[in-house]
Amino acid sequence: MFLLSGLTLQGKATPTDSLALWLSQYISLASESGHEKPAGRFLADLCQKQNLHLRIFTDLDSSFNFAASLYPLSAGKPNLVLLSHIDVVPASDSNEWTLPPYAGQITDTAVWGRGALDAKGMAIMQLGAMLELRHKYPNTEFPYNITLLAVSGEETGGFNGAKIIVNEFLKELNAVAVYGEGGSGVDNVVPSKPEKHVFGISVAEKNNLWLKLELKFVTFGHGASPPRSYANKAMVKALTKLNNIDTRIDFNKTNKRMFRELGKLEGGFKGFLIKHINWWVMRPVLNKIMENEPVFRSVLSNTSTLTNMYNPPGPPNQISNKATAYLDCRLLPGANRKKFIRDIKYGLIEPRFKISVINESPEAEESSPETPYYEALDKAIQEVFPQAAVMPILFPASSDNNYFREKGVLVYGITPIFMTREQLQTIHNPDERISLQQLRDGKNVYLRFLENISLKKIK
């Protein structure tokens, strides 16, 4: 029996009926990065109670990583790995939420709470699909193992999760393809058809590079007699200058393919322009597109975002001798990291800056979309959303996916639900939630994918 958010589920209900209840309890176990074990233990125990084969790789509060599979990993079957992460970003702004961020409250239409979209809801969809597949085909020997892989620390760089898995347990996992975070279904992508739902499956993603900027010099300390220059003033001046530097547009095979696919969806003369947006004569059109849609800018250029600034504690009338800032930089595949850091340093002008790298993701090649492992997922999305278009994309963020890509494993990233712009904005923000319909849709996409790829091979 599960007692979840005031609701009781007796025995083993069908996976579809259980999705919201399971997600509610999973959300209610707050798992901010570094404290994943209680939530991870709940999910692992849930998988084991559903008679999946459990393999716990690491069992620490800050590094709880496990696999739950249809067949034991020791069977050596080629493995389709459904990847999600246990950790969530903090909900320190809880007063901004309509409903408490860790209550896991279920309303008539949705499950609310931190992690509902990123990425606890995805894990519950994946688990539901695995269980329904087994329920529908109880006597079938599948050609693939199917594994739910839940890891820690994705939000802080993957060092306590995916990195450990690929360095120590990849051979045991025997993954032929991994399906993790990435795109989703969105609208307002095709200019002449803003209502068109377009699902993006990420085949490559930008690499994260987190930089710490430190500026320290001693000046007069009283705010009533400000010196000509001091740490905070120099920091703001330098960052303003850096923010005003135009970013260079760079095309690669992945983002060029994205625009070709968008051009096909648009059609006509405008579609022709979009398909050939990388031609230099199209630069005015490109600039207009990027001005109206910042997401396009992010997939065509390296970016640096100021995410935090602070000083050592002190009273309002004390001039701090030290200023620190953090930049979240996202680089296109193949970008020269050393050159990028050098350009940042030169752009800041101030020679007293100390720049240090606090986090960087591995570099990896694109996973080809021309494989049965991609095609089965593409087909599944179109079966659940028959009016939608599906296309391979460059994901503008970074995730655990590149740890596996770096090792030569095919990785495709998507949260297979349609999300409104308003809902996308709740990721890492207040009022994160997933609708009950989205839970069902996502589970159905995973189920159709598993049927497409497993049953086709059997036939």
pLDDT, one tens digit per residue, over 191-239 is 889 999 999 999 999 999 999 999 998 888 888 888 888 989 988 988 8
pLDDT for the residue 385: 98
In single-letter form, the type of residue at position 324 comes to T
Assigned token pair, 61? 């509060």
The average pLDDT across 45-54 equals: 97
Instruction: Please report which confidence band the pLDDT of residue 246 belongs to, taking 50, 70 and 90 as the band edges.
Output: low
Average pLDDT over residues 41-59: 98
pTM of the predicted model as reported, rounded to 2 decimal places: 0.90
- Highest mean pLDDT pick, 257-271, 302-316, 380-394: 380-394
Q: Average pLDDT of 281-307?
A: 76
Q: Which domains occur in the chain, in start order?
A: 2-203+364-458 (3.40.630.10), 207-360 (3.30.70.360)
pLDDT digits (tens, 9 = 90+) for 274-293: 888 888 777 776 766 666 66
- Render 341-404 in DSSP notation, one character per residue: HHHHHHHH--TT-EEEEEEEPPP-PPPPSSSHHHHHHHHHHHHHSTT-EEEEEEESS--THHHH
d(CA 438, CA 213): 41
Average pLDDT of every residue of the chain = 90
